[in-house]
Chains A and B, each alone.
Chain A
Amino acid sequence: DAMVIQNPRYQVTQFGKPVTLSCSQTLNHNVMYWYQQKSSQAPKLLFHYYDKDFNNEADTPDNFQSRRPNTSFCFLDIRSPGLGDAAMYLCATSRGQGTADTQYFGPGTRLTVL
Chain B
Amino acid sequence: AQKVTQAQTEISVVEKEDVTLDCVYETRDTTYYLFWYKQPPSGELVFLIRRNSFDEQNEISGRYSWNFQKSTSSFNFTITASQVVDSAVYFCALSEASSSNTGKLIFGQGTTLQVKP
Give the interface of A toward B (CB within 8 A): 31, 40-43, 45, 48, 50, 55, 88, 90, 92, 94, 96, 98-108, 110
1/0 contact string of B23-57 vs chain A (CB within 8 Å): 00000000111010100001111110010100000
Chain A contacts for B52, CB-based, 8 A? 100
The reply to whether the CB of B109 lies closer than 8 angstroms to some CB of chain A is: yes
Question: What total of chain B residues lie within 8 Å of the partner, measured CB to CB?
Answer: 28
Give the interface of B toward A (CB within 8 A): 31-33, 35, 37, 42-47, 50, 52, 91, 95-97, 99-105, 107-110
The answer to whether A41 touches B102 (Cβ under 8 A) is no
* A110 vs B108: C-alpha distance when bound (angstroms): 21
The answer to whether A99 touches B99 (Cβ under 8 A) is yes
Which 8 A-B residue pairs are closest in the complex by CB-CB distance? A42-B107, A100-B33, A100-B95, A105-B45, A108-B43, A107-B44, A99-B97, A100-B103
* A36 vs B55: C-alpha distance when bound (angstroms): 31
The answer to whether B45 touches A43 (Cβ under 8 A) is yes
The answer to whether B103 touches A96 (Cβ under 8 A) is yes
The answer to whether B91 touches A99 (Cβ under 8 A) is no
The answer to whether B110 touches A42 (Cβ under 8 A) is yes
The answer to whether B44 touches A100 (Cβ under 8 A) is no
